[in-house]
Every structure is written in C-alpha cells, then in structure tokens.
Amino acid sequence: MHTIEPYYNWRNLYTAENDSRSPFFQREYSEMHYTDQIYDHYIHPQWDNIDSTTLFIKLLFTDYDEGYCIIELFGEWNDCLHNDIMFLKRGVIETLKQEGIDKFILIGENVLNFHYSDDCYYEEWFEEVEDGWIAALNFREHVLQELKSANIDSYFVLGGQLNLVDWRIFTPPNLYRKIESQVAIRIGAI
C-alpha cells in the first residue's frame, strides 16, 4: 500500500498546501518518512490524514469561482468502527463549504471497502449543498453495492457514466464539466 500515491499530474495547477483557503494549507509532506498507516500497512506520505485511522484523502483541485473540488480517497471507508464520514465532513467538507464549494467530486478507485453505520452525516452534507451535488467517481463495484445497500446512493450521484476509467486524461475543468453534465442528466436538469 505504500506505493499507491495520490494523483499528482495536476500539481502544476493546484496544491492544497499552498491554498490559504484549503483545510491543508501549509501542510508539509515528506517523500522519505512514512508515518501514517492503515491497519499494519504504511501508506505513501503524500496522502492527507483527516484524523481517521482507515480513510485518507488528497484534495486534488479546488475552483472557488465555479464552486467545486475534486477529492481522491484512499483506504477503507469505515463508518461502522471509525465514523470516517464524520472526520471527512467536519474536517474537510465544512471548511470547503465555508469557502463556497457546493459541488464535490469524490474519486474512489482506491477505496477498498465501505462499512455502514448510519446516514446522519450524509443527509446533513446533502442538505447543506442545496443547489450543489456530491458525485462519486470510479468506486469499485463492491463498494458501490455497499453504498447502495446502505441507501447512501440517495445522497450521491454515482455509478453508470461516472465510473470513468480515463478520468486522468482530463484537466480539472474538463473533468468537472463532464461530471456536471452527467449529474444534470441524472437529476433531470436537462
């Protein structure tokens, strides 16, 4: 697991540690010292710790003018034992929301499992985005099934065309426009 890095080809466009409005502003990273781990596996030091023991993220891009962000997730999303949604919601999402972000693209291809507890934080997040949305992109099929069986899919737009295998070929604005068009179709805005 220590070799799985967050996507880095957009670093010339945006870095959360240099964004004064980001929850990760002035965070320093090491390429040599592996300190965080999921269970007994060390993880790459570029992942951002959100105070969860099983879920880590990377804020890949934020556009405050358009009101969206792209977040890559890594690990085990475990609400049952560790209440990971609370850490994500309170530590990251609320900071971004205060800065005007109401559209969230969550990239989940490195989420290995999902364990459900309840939907309180999901419902709260969904209600707070008002005219925005939360899109789940490239989650593994068994994770999508778990999200659906827990009825979390009622808060996210997920599956279908949102499982874009080739999301890395897009620039962040182009990815956003592609996701936004899919979301609009799903919620009947077109």
Is residue 173 assigned to a domain? yes
What pLDDT sits at residue 189? 52
Q: According to the model, what pLDDT value does residue 32 have?
A: 79
More confident residue, 180 or 190: 180
| Distance separating alpha carbons of residues 19 and 14, to the nearest angstrom | 8
Question: What does the pLDDT read at residue 33?
Answer: 87
Closest CA to 84 of 33, 152, 166: 152
Q: Around Cβ 33, how many Cβ atoms within 10 Å?
A: 8
Domain range enclosing 169 = 16-187
Q: Is the pLDDT of residue 165 over 80?
A: no
Query: What average pLDDT does range 139-148 have in this prediction?
Result: 93
CA angle 156–13–171, rounded 5-degree value:
55
CB neighbour list of residue 58: distance below 8 Å, 6 or more residues apart? 6, 7, 16, 46, 47, 48, 71, 72, 74
Residue 4 lies in a domain: no
Task: Answer whether residue 28 is part of any domain.
Answer: yes
Residue 15 pLDDT level (bands cut at 50, 70, 90): very high
CATH of the domain at 157: 3.30.750.24
pTM for the model stands at 0.95
The answer to whether residue 101 is domain-embedded is yes
Asked if pLDDT for residue 190 goes beyond 50, the answer is no
Contacts 24+ apart (CB under 8 A), 143-150: 143/77, 143/108, 143/111, 143/112, 143/113, 143/114, 146/113, 146/114, 146/115, 146/116, 147/114, 149/116, 150/114, 150/116, 150/119
Q: Which token pair is 41? A: 């596996």
What six digits make up the tokens of 181? Answer: 């068009």
Q: Does 1 map to a domain?
A: no
pLDDT of residue 3: 78
Q: Between residues 4 and 125, which one has the greater pLDDT?
A: 125
Residue 10 lies in a domain: no
pLDDT, tens digit, 9 for 90 and up, residues 32-47: 788 899 998 999 999 9
> For residue 128, what are the contacts with CB-CB under 8 A and spacing of at least 6?
97
Q: Compute the average pLDDT of residues 88-110.
A: 97
In a domain, 140, yes or no: yes
How many domains does one find in the chain? 1
What does the pLDDT average to over 5-23?
97
- The tokens for 78 are 């475990």
Torsional sign, CA 102, 49, 55, 172: positive
Q: Is the pLDDT score of 6 beyond 60?
A: yes
From CA 190, how far away is CA 182, in angstroms rounded? 10
pLDDT band at 79 (very low <50, low <70, confident <90, very high): very high
Q: How far is 78 from 119, CA to CA, in rounded Å? A: 13
Q: Is residue 5 part of a domain?
A: no
Residue 4's pLDDT is: 87
